[in-house]
Amino acid sequence: MVLLRSPLHDRHLALGAKLAEFGGWEMPLEYAGGGVLAEHKAVREGVGVFDVSHLGKAVVRGPGAVDFVNGCFTADLGRIGPGQAQYTMCCDADGGVVDDLIAYVRSGDDVFLMPNAANTADVVSRLAAAAPAGIEVVDQHRDFAVLAVQGPQSGQVLDRLGVAADAGYMSFATQQIEGQALTVCRTGYTGERGYELVVAAGAVLAVWDAVIEAGGPVSPRACGLGARDTLRTEMGYPLHGNDLSTEISPVMARAGWAVGWAKPAFWGKEALEAQRAAGEVRLSRGLLAGGRGIPRPGMEVQDAGGTVIGSVTSGTFSPTLRKGIALALLDPDVALDAEVFVDVRGRQEAFTVVKPPFVDPSTR
């Protein structure tokens, strides 16, 4: 398969990026002179910039676009207005998660979507198939680049670039950097205060350069998707394909907060209501290492007697805690604070069942 590349590909090569495949795109994993730990720390303590142009972009527009999307995806768009964004999920009829994504309401007739790279085509085709006459669904995956400026000093970077940084969490507005129009969103996937900049693909070089060369004490470090993964895992944010999938529903992932249960309809509603009422499925929890074991996706979770009670969906080393952390699906009767064991390549490593986040978020 030929991998797609960001319009910033040459910039990444110049920065010595180690590249890896993400959802069909060849993207930076980490940069020379940095590495996951240094990049993670930059975002927790200063500011980092990620190229996340592989993320999908699509628009649903036409009379009643918001109402149409609201009848498809899980979250209740009635809770936000124009200029606000919302985390939501696209489920199938069985309640499995086709994708989790952010919906940006530009007006009642215009909703911008940011799905995961690998799922964009699927989400777009499901919406297009369901759309009534007058509503169009357009895949804009290659039309825009996305930069995520994240960290406690991210607001100062935007200030320096002459961009208003005072928007509320999950709000967005059109602004300019270097004369280029872009959408600045107070969103992110790191647990820190941060902004995502949606820029026309042809204009992103100037914006990237301006952000990277902001200079002074608040010059952001270029950060790769390796650090993005450790940052999001510390927050307990799910990753589609690991912690959410067509086999792992919002109920199982404990993402019911992103489901508008009172809405008259959304895809998968009946199946999810039945699953929630039955209470038989495995549920997501956090696991915090007692020792030095680092859990990885797919590893079995056992109780003290050796009975398998679940499996790891995401697992890594937490750079902040300097311990192994995991998200795991566990049998519903496994209690918080219980001691469980993860089979780490034949070693039984002890973990405590916890409620994520593992590190306090500072998004607001």
Partner 1 sequence: MFPADLTYTPGHEWVRVDGDTATVGITDYAQEQLGDIVFVSLPQVGDSVEAGSVIGELESTKSVSDLFAPIAGEVLVRNEALEANPELVNSDPYGEGWLVKMRVHDDDATAGLMDAQAYEASLTQ
Q: Which residues bind partner 1 (CB under 8 A)?
A: 18, 29-30, 35-38, 226, 230, 292, 294, 296, 316-317, 319, 322, 345
Which CB atom, from 104 or from 317, has the smaller least distance to partner 1? 317
Task: List the 97-107 sheet strands across, edge first.
Answer: 84-91, 97-107, 110-114, 58-61, 136-139
Partner residues linked to 286 by β-bridges: 327, 354
* Shortest spacing between CB 9 and partner 1, in angstroms: 20
* Pairing of β 97-107 and β 84-91: antiparallel
CA–CA dist 115, 129 (Å, integer): 17
Which CB atom, from 18 or from 61, has the smaller least distance to partner 1? 18
230, 318 Cβ separation under 8 angstroms: yes
* Shortest spacing between CB 45 and partner 1, in angstroms: 16
Q: Residues near 2 by Cβ (< 8 Å), separated by ≥ 6?
A: none
* Shortest spacing between CB 36 and partner 1, in angstroms: 4
**Tokens 């790191």 map to which residue?**
190
* Cα dist from 149 to 59, 112, 262, whole Å: 23, 20, 35
Tell me the one-letter amino acid at 227.
A
- Where does residue 274 rank: exposed (0-12), middle (13-18), buried (19+ CB within 10 A)? exposed
Task: List the 25-30 sheet strands across, edge first.
Answer: 4-5, 25-30, 18-22
Which CB atom, from 65 or from 235, has the smaller least distance to partner 1? 235
Which CB atom, from 79 or from 292, has the smaller least distance to partner 1? 292
Tell me the one-letter amino acid at 224.
G
Which CB atom, from 44 or from 141, has the smaller least distance to partner 1? 44
In this structure, the chain runs to a length of: 364
Which CB atom, from 40 or from 240, has the smaller least distance to partner 1? 40
Which CB atom, from 237 or from 317, has the smaller least distance to partner 1? 317
* Shortest spacing between CB 310 and partner 1, in angstroms: 21
Which CB atom, from 153 or from 316, has the smaller least distance to partner 1? 316
**Which tokens belong to 219?**
């010059």
Q: Is 160 left (phi over 0), alpha (psi -120 to 50) or beta?
A: alpha
Q: What are phi and psi of 191, to 5 degrees?
A: 90, 0
Which CB atom, from 175 or from 313, has the smaller least distance to partner 1? 313
* Shortest spacing between CB 22 and partner 1, in angstroms: 13
* Shortest spacing between CB 16 and partner 1, in angstroms: 10
Among candidate residues 103, 91, 121, the one with its CA nearest the CA of residue 67? 103
Partner residues linked to 7 by β-bridges: none
Sign of CA dihedral 40, 222, 210, 235: negative
* Shortest spacing between CB 357 and partner 1, in angstroms: 18
CA–CA dist 109, 169 (Å, integer): 23
What is the separation of C-alpha 135 from the centre of its chain, rounded to a whole number of angstroms? 27
* Shortest spacing between CB 100 and partner 1, in angstroms: 22
* Shortest spacing between CB 350 and partner 1, in angstroms: 15
* Shortest spacing between CB 295 and partner 1, in angstroms: 11
Which CB atom, from 238 or from 319, has the smaller least distance to partner 1? 319
